[in-house]
Every structure is written in structure tokens, then in C-alpha cells.
Amino acid sequence: MTVRMGLIRKKPDWHDEDFRRHWREHHGPLAARLPGLAAYWQNAVTERLQRGIAFARGPWDFDGFSQLTLGARVAGTSPFADGGLADALIADERHFLGGLHIVTAEPTEVIAPPSGPQRARLLKRISLLRRRDGLDEDGFRREWRVHADFVRGMPGVAGYRQNVVTARERVKGQPCDYEALPIDGIVELWFENAATLEAAFGSPQGQRTMAHAQTFLAEITAFAVQEQRVV
């Protein structure tokens, strides 16, 4: 399985609620028609704070993150081969989006979040990671695997997923190099609430986790999101 993640900015003249409603009620059902789609989640940004952590924040500012999980049979092909559907998606994106970058990632479920109503009540945080200068891609991935054990030891973590970025499109449909879109990984974390999140990072285990993060990360750009499953 691979996941195709959209890093989304709304048009400046769209109000937050109008953007979220259109994404949820119009664009979501349209994208759900993509062939071979195993899952599709929308994550609307609700907060842009480095809550619980003192870490350099990157330049990124997004209003939402889409996650389209592709089945194994279509992972190596384009799910956008249907010209009519592709054209409709592009036309709608031009209608309500001011910016859209795409990354393809390989997800690893370190701590599986709960499902159903219990998951819907949780606070979710998505963070974009950039590795330290001088550390290559393999070194980043190796240290991030080690980092997973630190996060496992933190109290109150209800779910934790690592998404290693394997391909990038600064402009949708146009592959780009790392320098054009320097994001190495995307973190998904779930907590009971904001107080639980802050307590987790403030704990001794959390302090050790962030000390390790300093050894291989240059930036962490955190967003609280409200997630919704479409498929």
C-alpha cells in the first residue's frame, strides 16, 4: 500500500467553513470515484501551534491534508487514467484551491489508532518533517525508525503513524526533486485531547523523544486537524 497525500491551501477569499463544506460535500464524493481507492481521508486544519514542543517550525502553511490509499494492484499505475474524472477533479480544484502539492508516501503503523466513534473523539495532529542538513535520505529513515521506539514509550499516545515520503509533486502531475519540496516525512499522532498531548511531550519520556528528534530533524511543522473518512 502507498498513500498519496495532498497538501492543500484554500483560495484566500474562501472562508474556512465554506472551504471545508465544499471539500467535504462536493470534492470528496468526486475523488471517491477514483478506481482502486482503498481509503480516502480528509484532514481539515483547525490549529497551527507547536503545541507541547519547542522546535523550529518550517515555512509551510496549509488548510488541509488529503490521504488517498491506493490498493496494491494500482499502486504502480495512475489512478487518474479516467480522463473525464481527472478533468472534473482538476476543474473543481481550480475552483476552490489556491495551492496543492502532492507527496507519495509509504506508511508504517507504529501504534494503531482506535476505529469508529472512539477515534472520532480523539485529537489528531499532522506534522511535516525536514531532516537536518548533511543527513541523507537513508540516514533520516534509519533514525526515524529508531525514533518510533521513543514515541512508543510516551504516555497517552493513542495512535502513531509514520509516512516516509518517496515522491513529490510541487505542482500536481509534475514530479519534482527534493529541493523543490523538502519534506522527508509526515507524522500522524492521536491523543485524547490537547492536555494529554502536552502532558505526553512534557513527560520524561517525551523530553527524551524530542532530544532524539534534535539529532536528525531540522524542522517540525505541526497542525491540529479534524479528520473525516470519505472511503
pLDDT digits (tens, 9 = 90+) for 7-65: 999 999 999 999 999 999 999 999 999 998 999 999 999 999 999 999 999 999 999 99
Taking the CA atoms of residue 24, residue 28, residue 30 and residue 36 in that order, the dihedral angle to the nearest 10 degrees is -170
- Predicted confidence at residue 76, as pLDDT, reads 47
C-alpha cell at 154: 510516551
CA distances to 24, 67, 188, 228 from 116, rounded to whole Å, are 18, 18, 17, 11
pLDDT digits (tens, 9 = 90+) for 65-123: 999 998 765 544 455 555 799 999 999 999 999 999 999 999 999 999 999 999 999 99
Please state the domain count of the chain: 1
Range of the domain at 74: 3-229
pLDDT digits (tens, 9 = 90+) for 197-216: 999 999 999 999 999 999 99
- Predicted confidence at residue 170, as pLDDT, reads 98
Give the pLDDT band of residue 1 (cuts 50, 70, 90). Answer: confident
- Predicted confidence at residue 79, as pLDDT, reads 55
pLDDT digits (tens, 9 = 90+) for 132-153: 999 999 999 999 999 999 999 9
pTM: 0.94
- Predicted confidence at residue 114, as pLDDT, reads 96
* Section 149-170 average pLDDT: 98
Count of other CB atoms within 10 angstroms of residue 175? 13
Distance (Å, rounded) from C-alpha 230 to C-alpha 76?
A: 23
CATH of residue 147: 3.30.70.100
